[in-house]
């Protein structure tokens, strides 16, 4: 399985209206689909600016409560998601929408279902380990047992329970970033 994700709007402001960028994505998906059994195109994800922890703290400082959801999705993000969906469908590739999975009319989920203290992202958009695990499950991405997630876990492990390779020094943000790439 190949999973393709990009922060489309961060690199090209008018991505959804740029025929050249769309054609490049179509060509990439077509070539991948010819050589890989399962290709998944992942849509836009929430953009928590300046960071999800900062926004949660700001909310807490005003209300003394933790938000379940925050309104952070622009119309442009929704339009880009729709464009990505159309491209994926036209190329015979599966599309999954992070926005559909995490966001509704009240905003985007800020934490996992397990606990309000398990934030989905540690900055503006990189998922925490718990956030990435929650998202993969929510999106129904059944990763093979020997997927990159499991290889990363075996290699970098968890320092708290002593499974980390002693030769590798990673802080929590690096581990989360590795997870969020998958």
Here the CATH number for the domain that contains residue 142 is: 3.40.50
* Residue 9: predicted pLDDT: 67
Q: Which of 130, 146, 147 is nearest to 138 (CA)?
A: 130
| pLDDT tens figures, 119-158 | 999 999 899 999 999 999 999 887 665 555 444 444 444 4
Would you say the C-alpha torsion 82, 85, 148, 32 has a positive or negative sign? Answer: negative
* Residue 147: predicted pLDDT: 54
* Residue 177: predicted pLDDT: 39
Domain span including residue 28: 2-180
Mean pLDDT of the chain: 81
pLDDT range class, residue 169, cuts 50, 70, 90: very low
User: How many domains does the chain divide into?
Assistant: 1
């Amino acid at each position: 399985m190949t999973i393709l994700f990009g922060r489309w709007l961060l690199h090209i402001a008018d991505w959804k209206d740029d025929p050249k960028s769309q054609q490049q994505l179509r060509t990439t998906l077509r070539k991948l689909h010819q050589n890989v059994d399962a290709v998944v195109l992942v849509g836009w994800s929430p953009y928590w600016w300046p960071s999800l922890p900062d926004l949660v703290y700001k909310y807490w400082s005003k209300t003394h409560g933790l938000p379940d959801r925050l309104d952070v999705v622009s119309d442009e993000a929704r339009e880009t998601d729709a464009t990505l969906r159309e491209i994926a469908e036209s190329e015979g590739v599966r599309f999954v929408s992070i926005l559909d999975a995490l966001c509704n009319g009240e905003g985007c989920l800020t934490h996992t279902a397990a606990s309000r203290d398990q934030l989905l992202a540690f900055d503006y958009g990189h998922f925490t380990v718990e956030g990435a695990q929650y998202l993969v499950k929510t999106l129904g991405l059944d990763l093979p047992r020997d997927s990159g997630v499991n290889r990363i876990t075996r290699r970098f492990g968890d320092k708290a329970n002593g499974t980390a390779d002693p030769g590798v020094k990673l802080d929590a943000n690096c581990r989360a970033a590795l997870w969020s790439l998958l």
